[in-house]
Amino acid sequence: MAVALRYCRHLPPLLYRSSFAMTRWLPRAAAGCPALLLDSCRQCVRQVLLIRQLATKKAKGKGQSEARVNISAALVEDIINLKETSEDMQAVVEALKEDFSRNLSVRTSPGALDHIIVMTKDGKFPLNQLGQISQKSPQLIIVNMTNFPESTAAATKAIRESGMNLNPEVDGTIIRVPVPKVTREHRESLAKLAKQSTNKSKEALRKVRSKSISQVKKFKSKVSEDTIWLLEKQIQQMSDEAAAEMDKLLAAKTKELLG
């Protein structure tokens, strides 16, 4: 018992250590030893250090914002990979950025048609893998389907249904795509598409969040309720930050499109 008390006496300094891993170095007592109290000490240190990850509240307007959670991913790696969750959420944001850049521009360019997905009998393919895309004039884009003539009709349909306000015309294996004039109606149509794309991305983000929270809940019988609560809060916080970034992207793109 004296040995246990001697180690527990060092608990106050440990509580101020920044690393959760420090508790690994507390010795474990042998079975049947009175120093089994050490295991309880270790659990105490772990719990306190985990809860200390909560940051202080910051003033916001007249009230206070909710406390932020910032759990070190290494501390809970046996429960969930928070780094992977963050990367999955950021991948959704990056996909939205690319969609805005590639498909939502006031001026239609050949590059905007590259990744239009064409449904063929052999599967889905980007348009630029089936046809040669070039700009004949500022008002006309040409798609040459000579290499895959059987996909001409499918490519024409994909262009027309791309949501880019394009009305392609077919001449044999050549698809002519008139570039629409930049009208107010066209700008508003693009802004509406930007909003729809953002909503789809937020839905994908919610799926990542739900999957991660479901993963955490699998450990309800193995870890404390406080730990589960903190992890759920951390995941929700990560999701909220990604959604806020999407809202900023949408605001900037809408401003660009509407002029």
DSSP string, 52-111: TTSPPP-EETTEEPPPP----GGGGTTT--HHHHHHHHHHHHHHHHHHHHHH--SS--HH
Q: 184, 192 in Cβ contact below 8 A?
A: no
Query: For residue 211, what are the contacts with CB-CB under 8 A and spacing of at least 6?
Result: none
Q: Let me know: does 22 contact 54? Beta carbons within 8 Å.
A: no
- The tens digit of pLDDT for each residue in 174-189 reads 999 998 777 888 889 8
Yes or no: say if 254 and 198 are a contact pair by the CB < 8 Å rule.
Answer: no
Phi/psi at 63 (nearest 5 deg)?
Answer: -105, -160
* CATH 3.30.1360.40, domain 110-178, yes or no: yes
Domain ranges of the chain: 73-104+183-258, 110-178
Which residues neighbour 243 within 8 Å (Cβ) at sequence distance 6 or greater?
A: 202, 205
Q: Give the position of tokens 């050949």.
A: 110
Q: Rounded distance, CA 207 to CA 244, Å?
A: 16
* Residue 86, token pair as written in the block: 């963050």
- Helix then strand count (H, E) for the chain reads 9, 8
C-alpha 228/C-alpha 179 separation (Å) is 54
From first to last of its 259 residues, what are the pLDDT tens digits of the chain? Answer: 444 444 444 444 444 444 444 444 444 444 444 444 344 444 444 544 444 444 444 344 444 556 777 777 777 888 999 999 999 999 999 999 998 887 787 767 777 788 789 999 999 999 999 999 999 888 899 999 999 999 999 999 999 988 777 899 999 999 999 987 778 888 898 899 999 999 999 999 999 999 999 999 999 988 889 989 999 999 999 999 999 999 999 999 999 999 7
Token digits of residue 38: 């050490």
CATH of 73-104+183-258, one of 1.10.132.20, 3.40.50.970, 3.40.50.300, 1.10.3720.10: 1.10.132.20
245 touches 101 (CB < 8 A): no
**117-124: Cβ within 8 A, 24+ apart:** 117/158, 118/151, 118/154, 118/155, 118/158, 119/154, 119/157, 119/158, 120/148, 120/150, 120/151, 120/154, 121/150
